[in-house]
Chains A and B, each alone.
Chain A
Amino acid sequence: MDAILAAAGLVFDPFVLWVILAASAFGIFVGAMPGLTATMATALLVPVTFFMPPVPALGAIVAATAMAIFAGDIPAALLRIPGTPASAAYTDESYAMSKKGELDLNLGVNLVFSVIGGLAGVLILVLCAPALAEVAIHFSSFEYFWLALLGLTCAVFIATEQPLKGFASLLFGLAINCIGIDPAAGFPRFTFGSVELLQGISFIPAMIGMFAVSEILRGVIAVDEGGAVLVQKIGNIFVGVWDVWKRYWKNFIRGSAIGVLIGALPGAGADIAAWISYAVSKKFSKEPEKFGTGHIEGIVDATSANNSALGGAWIPALVFGIPGDSITAIVIGVLYMKGMNPGPTVFLQNPQFIYAVFIIFILANLLMLPLGWAAIKSGKQILRVPRNLLLPIILIFCVVGSYAMTNSVYGIIMMLVMGVIGWIMEEHGFPIAPAILGLVLGEMLEQNFMTSMIKSDGAFLTFFERPIAGTLGALTLLVWGAMLWRGWTARPAAVAAPPT
């Protein structure tokens, strides 16, 4: 109880509240601008939050991402362009509703179900995380090794369309994480005599490069290609939402549950949650033929799911230090920089900090209702901001942000190199998220692997001797086996398919 009061004291501080409000407005803007994603909002926020204490720093990230995921629904309905990838699953459906004259209802449902979906995600986070932490406190290096490996495995196989390229991306992330002093023996690896590389790849500039600069490179070559904003007056968006709730509240529960689950799986975040819940909704609907024609049912599922996934992703991030999506991957990087190593010990030593995250989450989702309403009302103005002004401004912000992380041009060089690599990877169908996950989890994976090797004197079977470690290990191998089997049996079909 003391911890909760202490947490409330941390959150309800004028500065923290101001940061949350500012970050929310920023998140809404970034989310509503097509081409700027929630992950990018986080990446851009990090250099700013770097100079803050942990609670406002996390508050800014939580608030901005929650808003961005909702705000992505606005251009989907107005322009048929998703504001963030998390809205892509139901963009066509939303636009079809707008064309039918149901724009108000669509935006109202998106807003309200984003809010309650987000709250559902927080509820599960609050219920599950402390309980899981009690279990996790007994984990040794063996369990953490398997957990990290299982997490990375899920990230590759569940979250990517082409597991082979996802796997290559992951290994690449792990490999560049090897640059610098190795975590077990303190030996400098792959530094080529550079003092800067001794500390390893500078995580924040690398991430700004991969998520923001590569996006800008894609953006400038299509800077003049925007959709035409639907000319329609936006009225009272809350009319009819209650009827939708009465009719589809089961869809809301199912969507939120799927969202939390997918969010908690490492590597898969809000966008995949939306796709899966939309597909599930269609499959179990009584009127699947209406899907795609401007039908609200699938939107209820998917818009709840992508916001609840945000909360779900924080479960493994806080409890094990394993990120549930690319946003929490960045958060974990931030926590390490602030000297707060995520994991079960935080729940014991700094519970007020965990509760503060919970409170911020609830606050941010409640704040979404008025701010989201305002964003919908001014949606057309937001979408009128010219991209040829916006992209250079974001780019200079990236440059200064990366510089601020190292106080030298080394940060900018890192950003540029990783930005170009990220761009090349995406052009060739290699997903970026696994590489970032590898970069974040690499040290944890290697450290636990080497520690376990030393403990077991090099005998690999010892990795299976403890009950939980053995189960996790078997599970990991099982996933590997299943995926290899699937790859093997699906091979002829994959070869027959035309190259994309």
Chain B
Amino acid sequence: MRANDAIAGLVLIVLSLAMIALTLSFPDFPGQKYGPALFPRILGVGLIGCGILLVHNGLVARRAGAAWVEVAPWVHEPWRLGSFLLVLAMLLLYIVASETIGFIPIALVFLGGLFLWLGVRPVTAVATALATTIAIHWFFGSMLRVPLPRGLLTNLL
């Protein structure tokens, strides 16, 4: 998936304007005409400049026949699109649910789900998911003492 440079440029311009607008409330250094707002404003102006040039390039390309949005071939293949979305979904699931469910169950779902979708044979998928989860839990949880969420297994661990 690839948008025309003009769209990318427009997004940049809007974001930069928003950033500059936010700096309006920043205070100046006492007795000076500038303050914490100066640096972000300079960056914002630079980004707007880039945005304008990108819009220009994009429009030139558009006139030469480029599409507004070019869709990559893999988007039309359900399995590949699914792989892409599943990675994002699993990450979101981990963010939302890891604290309540705990690391071990969520990692098993995370790994097992991705393995199976990507075409790993079920036995291998389950075995590898288990082995990886235990190894990571041992390495990060026990060796490096990272407080991995316990969740449902609080009483067991």
A→B interface (CB under 8 Å) = 48, 51, 164-165, 167-168, 171-172, 174-175, 178, 182, 184-185, 187, 189-190, 213, 216-217, 220-224, 386, 388-389, 391-393, 395-397, 399-400, 403-404, 407, 409, 412-413, 416, 420, 427-428, 430, 446, 449-450, 453-454, 458, 495, 498-499
Are A392 and B26 in touch, CB under 8 angstroms? no
Partner of A224, one of B50, B86, B119: B119
The closest CB in chain B to the CB of A181 belongs to B36
The closest CB in chain B to the CB of A410 belongs to B95
SS class, residues of chain B in contact with chain A: helix
B→A interface (CB under 8 Å) = 1-3, 5, 8, 12, 16, 19, 22-23, 26-27, 29, 32-36, 38-40, 43-44, 46-47, 50-51, 53-54, 57, 60-61, 64, 66, 72, 74, 80-81, 83-84, 86-88, 90-92, 94-95, 98-99, 103, 107, 110-111, 114-115, 118-120, 124, 128, 132-133, 136, 140, 144-148
Q: Which residues of the partner chain A approach B3 to less than 8 Å between Cβ atoms?
A: 428
Partner of A400, one of B44, B64, B140: B140
Please indicate which of the listed interface residues B44, B119, B144 has the most CB atoms of chain A within 10 Å of its own CB.
B144
Q: Which residues of the partner chain A approach B132 to less than 8 Å between Cβ atoms?
A: 393, 396
How far, in whole Å, are A454 and B31 apart by their CA atoms in the complex?
11
Partner of B111, one of A165, A223, A396: A396
How far, in whole Å, are A189 and B24 apart by their CA atoms in the complex?
11
Q: Which residues of the partner chain A approach B35 to less than 8 Å between Cβ atoms?
A: 184-185, 187
Are A458 and B32 in touch, CB under 8 angstroms? yes
Are A189 and B34 in touch, CB under 8 angstroms? no
How far, in whole Å, are A213 and B92 apart by their CA atoms in the complex?
13
How far, in whole Å, are A499 and B57 apart by their CA atoms in the complex?
10
Are B144 and A404 in touch, CB under 8 angstroms? yes
A198 to chain B, nearest CB (A): 14
Are A399 and B111 in touch, CB under 8 angstroms? no
Q: Which residues of the partner chain B approach A168 to less than 8 Å between Cβ atoms?
A: 12, 47, 50-51, 54
The closest CB in chain A to the CB of B96 belongs to A409
Sample of 6 more A-B contacts, CB < 8 Å, known A185-B29, A221-B83, A409-B95: A51-B144, A175-B44, A391-B118, A392-B115, A393-B128, A499-B61
Are A388 and B147 in touch, CB under 8 angstroms? no
Q: Which residues of the partner chain B approach A430 to less than 8 Å between Cβ atoms?
A: 8
Are A400 and B136 in touch, CB under 8 angstroms? yes
The closest CB in chain A to the CB of B129 belongs to A392
Partner of A171, one of B47, B53, B87: B47
Q: Which residues of the partner chain A approach B80 to less than 8 Å between Cβ atoms?
A: 220-222
Given A449-B39, A458-B34, A388 and B94 touching (CB < 8 A)? no
B41 to chain A, nearest CB (A): 10
Are A220 and B83 in touch, CB under 8 angstroms? yes
How far, in whole Å, are A404 and B137 apart by their CA atoms in the complex?
12
Are A221 and B144 in touch, CB under 8 angstroms? no
Are B111 and A221 in touch, CB under 8 angstroms? no
Q: Which residues of the partner chain B approach A51 to less than 8 Å between Cβ atoms?
A: 144-145
Given A164-B53, A178-B43, A224-B119, A396 and B87 touching (CB < 8 A)? no
Are B115 and A389 in touch, CB under 8 angstroms? yes
A-B residue pairs, 7 tightest by C-beta = A388-B118, A392-B114, A182-B36, A168-B50, A499-B61, A220-B83, A404-B146
